[in-house]
Structure 1
Amino acid sequence: MKERIVQYRKIPLLCLSFLFLMIPHEVFAHAQLEKAEPAPDSTLTALPEEIVLTFNERLEKELFSIKVFNEAGEQVSKSETEMSKDQKTITQDLPSLPEGNYAISYSVLSADGHPIKGSYVVSIGEKTAPRSEMNQLHNEENPSLLSSMIQSVSRILYYLALLLTAGWMIWGTVNKIEHGEMRAAFRQKARYLQAALLITTIGMGYFQFAELLNSWSADEIWPLLTGTALGISWLLSMVLSILGFALLLRFTWLDRLWVFVILTVKSINGHAMAFDPPILTIAIDVLHLFAASIWAGGLFYIFAFWKKQREHVRQFLPAFSQAAFISILVLMGTGAASTFLFLPQIGYLFDTKWGILLLIKAAIVLLVTVTGGILRYSWKKRSEHAIGRLLKIDFSLMLVIVGIVGVFTHLSPLPQNEPLEWHEQEKHLEFTTSIFPKAPGSNHFMVEAGSLQEGIEIKNVELFLKYQDNPDVAPIQVPFSQAEQSGKVHYMIDGQYLPFAGNWTAELRILDSEDNEGVFSTEFMVY
Structure 2
Amino acid sequence: MTMNRRRVTTALVGLLIGLFGSLLAAAPASAHAALVGSDPAANSVVPDAPNRVTLKFSESVQLIAGKIRVLAPDGSRADQGDPTVSGAEVTIPLRPAGARGTYLITYRVTSADSHPVAGTITYSVGAPSTPPADGGDASVTVDPLVKALIPVGKYLGYAGLVLLVGPVLVLALLWPHRLDRRGPGRLVWTGIGLVAGSTLLGLWLQAPYTLGTGLFDVTVSDVREVLGSTFGAVMLVRLGVVTAAAFLLRPLLDGPGGGESRLDLALLGVLGVAALATWPLTGHPTASPVAGVSVVIDALHLGAMAVWVGGLVMLFGFLLPRATGRELGAILPIWSRWAMTAVGVLVFAGVVQALIEVSDFDGLISSTYGRMILAKIGLAALVIGVAAFSRKLVGKRADDDSPGPLRRIVAAELAIIVVILGVTSFLVQEPPPRTVEAAETGSTSTTVEQTLTSKSMSMQVSIYPATVGNNSIHLYAYTLDSKPLPVVEWKATAALPSKGIEAIEIPLLRITDFHAIGDIGLPQAGEWTFKFTARTSEIDQETLTMTAKIS
- With the length of structure 1 as denominator, give the TM-score of the two structures: 0.72
Distance 2:67 2:420 in 1: 38
Give the partner amino acid of 1:393.
Answer: A
Larger radius of gyration: 2
Give the partner amino acid of 1:370.
Answer: G
Contact 1:38 1:122 survives alignment (8 Å): yes
Deviation at 1:295, TM superposition (A): 1.0
Deviation at 1:74, TM superposition (A): 3.2
Contact 2:528 2:548 survives alignment (8 Å): yes
Distance 1:461 1:157 in 2: 56
Contact 1:462 1:477 survives alignment (8 Å): no
Q: Cα–Cα, structure 1 residues 328 and 222, in superposed 2: closer, same or farther, change >3 Å?
A: same
Distance 2:201 2:366 in 1: 31
Distance 2:526 2:142 in 1: 34
- In structure 1, the residue matched to 2:318 is 305
Q: Cα–Cα, structure 1 residues 364 and 508, in superposed 2: closer, same or farther, change >3 Å?
A: farther
- In structure 2, the residue matched to 1:415 is 435
Q: Cα–Cα, structure 1 residues 481 and 267, in superposed 2: closer, same or farther, change >3 Å?
A: closer
The secondary structure found in structure 1 opposite 2:436 is coil
Q: Cα–Cα, structure 1 residues 506 and 106, in superposed 2: closer, same or farther, change >3 Å?
A: farther
Q: Does 1:263 align with 2:263?
A: no
RMSD over equivalenced CA pairs, Å: 4.8
Distance 1:495 1:388 in 2: 74
Q: Cα–Cα, structure 1 residues 355 and 62, in superposed 2: closer, same or farther, change >3 Å?
A: farther
- In structure 2, the residue matched to 1:199 is 197
Q: Which runs of 5+ in 2 are unaligned?
A: 1-10, 252-259, 483-515, 532-544
Deviation at 1:380, TM superposition (A): 4.6
The secondary structure found in structure 1 opposite 2:321 is coil
Q: Cα–Cα, structure 1 residues 293 and 24, in superposed 2: closer, same or farther, change >3 Å?
A: closer
Give the partner amino acid of 1:83.
Answer: V
- In structure 1, the residue matched to 2:388 is 373
- In structure 1, the residue matched to 2:407 is 388
Deviations 1:255-301 (A, max 9, x none): 32332221123332223333465544433333333222221221111
- In structure 1, the residue matched to 2:490 is none
Contact 1:302 1:313 survives alignment (8 Å): no
Distance 1:116 1:373 in 2: 45
Q: Which runs of 5+ in 1 are unaligned?
A: 1-8, 421-434, 468-474, 499-504, 512-516
Contact 2:199 2:239 survives alignment (8 Å): yes
Distance 2:439 2:451 in 1: 19
Q: Does 1:273 align with 2:292?
A: no
Contact 1:155 1:406 survives alignment (8 Å): no
- In structure 2, the residue matched to 1:90 is 90
Deviations 1:175-205 (A, max 9, x none): 1331243x22222222222222223333344
Contact 1:104 1:121 survives alignment (8 Å): yes
- In structure 1, the residue matched to 2:60 is 58
Q: Cα–Cα, structure 1 residues 221 and 150, in superposed 2: closer, same or farther, change >3 Å?
A: closer
Deviations 1:483-517 (A, max 9, x none): 88999x9xx9999999xxxxxx9868799xxxxx9
- In structure 1, the residue matched to 2:300 is 287
Deviation at 1:349, TM superposition (A): 4.5
Deviations 1:130-172 (A, max 9, x none): 23x6368532145478765543343233222213311221222
Q: Cα–Cα, structure 1 residues 41 and 55, in superposed 2: closer, same or farther, change >3 Å?
A: same
Deviation at 1:78, TM superposition (A): 1.5
Give the partner amino acid of 1:366.
Answer: A
Give the partner amino acid of 1:374.
Answer: F
Contact 2:199 2:238 survives alignment (8 Å): yes
Contact 1:157 1:200 survives alignment (8 Å): yes
Bigger drift between 351-360 and 185-194 goes to: 351-360
Give the partner amino acid of 1:164.
Answer: L
Distance 1:16 1:32 in 2: 33
Deviations 1:71-114 (A, max 9, x none): 45432211222223xx1212122122112322112232222222
- In structure 2, the residue matched to 1:108 is 109
Give the partner amino acid of 1:187.
Answer: G
Contact 1:105 1:138 survives alignment (8 Å): yes
Q: Cα–Cα, structure 1 residues 358 and 230, in superposed 2: closer, same or farther, change >3 Å?
A: farther
The secondary structure found in structure 1 opposite 2:120 is strand
Deviation at 1:68, TM superposition (A): 0.8
Contact 1:77 1:94 survives alignment (8 Å): yes
Distance 1:180 1:496 in 2: 82
Contact 1:48 1:94 survives alignment (8 Å): yes
Contact 2:57 2:88 survives alignment (8 Å): yes
Give the partner amino acid of 1:219.
Answer: S
- In structure 1, the residue matched to 2:69 is 67
Deviation at 1:323, TM superposition (A): 1.1
Aligned pairs (5 A) from 1:294-443: 294-305=307-318, 308-309=321-322, 311=324, 312-313=327-328, 315-341=330-356, 345=360, 347-349=362-364, 355-380=370-395, 382=397, 384-401=403-420, 413=432, 414-417=434-437, 437-438=443-444
Q: Cα–Cα, structure 1 residues 260 and 463, in superposed 2: closer, same or farther, change >3 Å?
A: closer
Q: Does 1:119 align with 2:120?
A: yes
Contact 1:33 1:437 survives alignment (8 Å): yes
- With the length of structure 2 as denominator, give the TM-score of the two structures: 0.69
Aligned pairs (5 A) from 1:160-309: 160-181=159-180, 183-214=181-212, 219-226=221-228, 228-250=229-251, 251=260, 252-275=265-288, 278-305=291-318, 308-309=321-322
The secondary structure found in structure 2 opposite 1:416 is helix
The secondary structure found in structure 2 opposite 1:308 is helix
Give the partner amino acid of 1:293.
Answer: A
Contact 1:444 1:493 survives alignment (8 Å): no
Distance 1:156 1:295 in 2: 17
**Percent same amino acid at aligned positions?**
20
Q: Cα–Cα, structure 1 residues 61 and 23, in superposed 2: closer, same or farther, change >3 Å?
A: closer
Deviation at 1:36, TM superposition (A): 0.6
Give the partner amino acid of 1:415.
Answer: T
Contact 1:16 1:400 survives alignment (8 Å): no
- In structure 2, the residue matched to 1:33 is 35
- In structure 1, the residue matched to 2:100 is 99
Distance 2:289 2:442 in 1: 25
Contact 1:26 1:144 survives alignment (8 Å): no
Q: Cα–Cα, structure 1 residues 114 and 124, in superposed 2: closer, same or farther, change >3 Å?
A: same
Deviations 1:350-377 (A, max 9, x none): 5766555444433322221112122233
Q: Cα–Cα, structure 1 residues 274 and 483, in superposed 2: closer, same or farther, change >3 Å?
A: closer
Give the partner amino acid of 1:114.
Answer: H
Distance 1:102 1:253 in 2: 59
Equivalenced residue count is 469
Give the partner amino acid of 1:394.
Answer: E
